[in-house]
């Protein structure tokens, strides 16, 4: 029985089955990952997006909170070929609409051919195509969601670990596994709001300034850009995913929206220096178009977009992919060792202007 509708930006309306009721809107994207649905659904980088799973069955090993990357589900709605009851019940409890019973192969092809698009969803016993179209009509573009940092960032500073290396992690939507990866290597991680001031960072006097992953357009994270601009050359700087984009923009570079982004656990990345290709986990819809003062050291094998930016002179190291994986391969975990190694030759204490 059809009781859910997806109204696409193309004008098409797709029928589906409601598994968690409600209405929603967002940018329709897909992930090719076939495991790690708990991690994907709790990844803050999916904020304001409708996540489509390309893999046909989602939920075949249940739901366990210890695998979560944050304290809530972030996509505004979920689409799959088939959702198990465990996942459907979880999404219902979270108040996140979910649908299945449609051909996600066709949907993924639509996104690949037409690019990520806006979508409106209505799901439940009283759902109608008109409700879905109404959600689509006032759905904003990702670049227009200027408060997206506030939606995913901590409100006040949180500290994890008790190691010898102090990391100031600017939370633009950080995954918990990034914090865990640093703590496991002997760091004390100070998770800071996305709009943290330079004075706050100066008071912490960190060994590394780290800009996290996050959702949306990096141009909407101006405060994080200012932090990089303030302390470049004074403290080592690292970044992951959106963090790479923010750092590049601060150092004279530029970013651009991709057609449908990179989302999955099978993205091949070539390291120019070693000639080694590694498999990576990725989740982003924007990329660095101009690296500015940084050198492109790694590229995506599929489309040649920058995956690693470095500057030995400025003590900067960023990656577009997620070295912590969760879900995904562990080929690039050594990034965290390299970041903390930058702290071994750290500079004199900071002083905010």
The model's pLDDT over 323-338, given as tens digits with 9 standing for 90+, comes to 998 888 899 999 999 9
Residue 352 lies in a domain: no
Q: Are residues 91 and 182 both part of a single domain?
A: no
Q: Are residues 315 and 218 both part of a single domain?
A: yes
* Per-residue pLDDT, 344: 79
Q: Tell me the pLDDT tens digit for each residue of 257-273.
A: 999 999 999 999 999 99
Q: Are residues 173 and 118 both part of a single domain?
A: no
213 belongs to an annotated ligand binding site: no
Q: Are residues 219 and 292 both part of a single domain?
A: yes
What's the average model confidence in pLDDT over 208-231?
Answer: 98
Q: Are residues 242 and 107 both part of a single domain?
A: no
Residue 87 lies in a domain: yes
Q: Are residues 196 and 327 both part of a single domain?
A: yes
Q: Tell me the pLDDT tens digit for each residue of 80-131.
A: 999 999 999 999 999 999 999 999 999 999 999 999 999 999 999 999 999 9
Q: How many domains does the chain have?
A: 2
231 belongs to an annotated ligand binding site: no
Q: Are residues 97 and 175 both part of a single domain?
A: no
* Per-residue pLDDT, 349: 65
Please determine, for residue 225, whether its predicted confidence score (pLDDT) is greater than 70. Answer: yes
45 belongs to an annotated ligand binding site: yes
Q: Tell me the pLDDT tens digit for each residue of 173-205.
A: 999 999 999 999 999 999 999 999 999 999 999
Sequence-distant (6+) residues with CB within 8 A of 80 are 52, 53, 56, 57, 58, 98, 99, 100, 104
46 belongs to an annotated ligand binding site: no
Residue 29 lies in a domain: yes
Q: Tell me the pLDDT tens digit for each residue of 297-310.
A: 999 999 999 999 99
* Per-residue pLDDT, 24: 98
Q: Supply 82's token pair.
A: 């088939």
* Per-residue pLDDT, 236: 97
Q: Are residues 115 and 173 both part of a single domain?
A: no
Q: Is 262 an active-site residue?
A: no
What's the average model confidence in pLDDT over 124-140?
Answer: 97
Q: Are residues 35 and 162 both part of a single domain?
A: no
Residue 106 lies in a domain: yes
Domain extent for 283: 148-345
Please determine, for residue 352, whether its predicted confidence score (pLDDT) is greater than 90. Answer: no
Residue 257 lies in a domain: yes
Q: Are residues 179 and 135 both part of a single domain?
A: no
351 confidence band (pLDDT: 50, 70, 90): low
* Per-residue pLDDT, 346: 66
Q: Which of 80, 113, 140 is the last residue of a domain?
A: 140
Could you tell me if 123 and 99 are in contact, meaning their C-beta atoms sit under 8 angstroms apart?
yes
290 confidence band (pLDDT: 50, 70, 90): very high
* Per-residue pLDDT, 327: 85
Q: Are residues 112 and 219 both part of a single domain?
A: no
Residue 351 lies in a domain: no
Q: What's the CATH code of the domain at 274?
A: 3.40.50.880
216 belongs to an annotated ligand binding site: yes
147 confidence band (pLDDT: 50, 70, 90): very high
C-alpha–C-alpha distance, residues 84 and 19, integer Å: 9
* Per-residue pLDDT, 1: 65
Q: Where are the beta strands (DSSP E) in the chain?
A: 4-8, 13-20, 22-31, 49-53, 57-58, 77-79, 82-83, 98-100, 117-123, 158-160, 165-170, 187-192, 208-211, 237-240, 254-271, 277-290, 295-300, 306-311, 316-319
Catalytic option among 38, 225, 230, 324: 324
Give how far Cα 211 sits from Cα of 20, 109, 126, 170, 251, Å.
34, 33, 44, 5, 14
Catalytic option among 190, 262, 284, 322: 322
Percent of the chain exceeding pLDDT 90 equals: 94
Catalytic option among 74, 139, 241, 307: 241
242 belongs to an annotated ligand binding site: yes
* Per-residue pLDDT, 345: 74
Q: What's the CATH code of the domain at 33?
A: 3.50.30.20
Please determine, for residue 343, whether its predicted confidence score (pLDDT) is greater than 90. Answer: no
Residue 258 lies in a domain: yes
Supply the pTM of this predicted model: 0.96
Please determine, for residue 61, whether its predicted confidence score (pLDDT) is greater than 80. Answer: yes
Q: Which of 140, 159, 193 is the last residue of a domain?
A: 140
Q: Is 241 an active-site residue?
A: yes
Residue 264 lies in a domain: yes
Q: Are residues 128 and 244 both part of a single domain?
A: no
Q: Supply 49's token pair.
A: 């997006």
Q: Which of 106, 140, 174 is the last residue of a domain?
A: 140
Which has the higher per-residue pLDDT, 1 or 280?
280
Please determine, for residue 353, whether its predicted confidence score (pLDDT) is greater than 80. Answer: no
Cα within 13 Å of Cα(81), Cβ side = 15
Q: Share the mean pLDDT of the chain.
A: 96
């Amino acid at each position: 029985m059809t009781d859910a509708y997806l109204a696409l930006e193309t004008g098409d309306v797709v029928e589906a089955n409601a598994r968690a009721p409600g209405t929603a809107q967002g940018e329709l994207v897909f992930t090719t990952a076939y495991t790690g649905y708990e991690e994907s659904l709790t990844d803050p980088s999916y904020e304001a997006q409708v996540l489509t799973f390309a893999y046909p069955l989602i939920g075949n090993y249940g739901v366990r909170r210890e695998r979560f990357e944050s304290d809530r589900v972030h996509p505004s709605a979920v689409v799959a070929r088939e959702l198990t009851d465990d996942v459907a019940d979880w999404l219902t409890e979270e108040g996140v609409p979910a649908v299945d019973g449609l051909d996600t192969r066709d949907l993924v092809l639509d996104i690949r051919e037409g690019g990520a698009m806006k979508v409106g969803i209505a799901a439940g016993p009283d759902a109608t195509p008109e409700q879905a179209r109404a959600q689509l009509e006032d759905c904003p573009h990702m670049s227009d969601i200027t408060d997206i940092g506030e939606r995913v960032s901590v409100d006040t500073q949180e500290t994890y670990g008790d190691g010898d290396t102090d990391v100031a992690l600017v939370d633009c939507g950080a995954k918990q596994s990034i914090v865990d990866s640093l703590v496991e290597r002997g760091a004390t991680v100070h998770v800071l709001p996305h709009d943290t001031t330079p004075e706050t960072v100066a008071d912490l006097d960190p060994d590394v300034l780290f800009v996290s992953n996050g959702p949306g357009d990096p141009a909407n994270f101006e405060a994080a850009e200012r932090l990089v601009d303030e302390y470049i050359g004074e403290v080592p700087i690292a970044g992951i995913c959106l963090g790479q984009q923010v750092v590049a923009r601060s150092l004279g570079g530029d970013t651009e929206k991709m057609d449908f982004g990179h989302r999955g656990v099978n993205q091949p990345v070539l390291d120019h220096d070693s000639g080694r290709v590694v498999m990576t986990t990725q989740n982003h819809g924007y990329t660095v178009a101009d690296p500015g003062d940084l050198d492109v050291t790694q590229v995506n094998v599929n489309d040649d977009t920058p995956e690693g930016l470095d500057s030995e002179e400025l003590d900067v190291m960023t990656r577009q992919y997620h070295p912590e994986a969760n879900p995904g391969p562990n080929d690039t975990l050594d990034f965290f060792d390299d970041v903390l190694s930058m702290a071994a030759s750290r500079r004199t204490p900071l002083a905010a202007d």
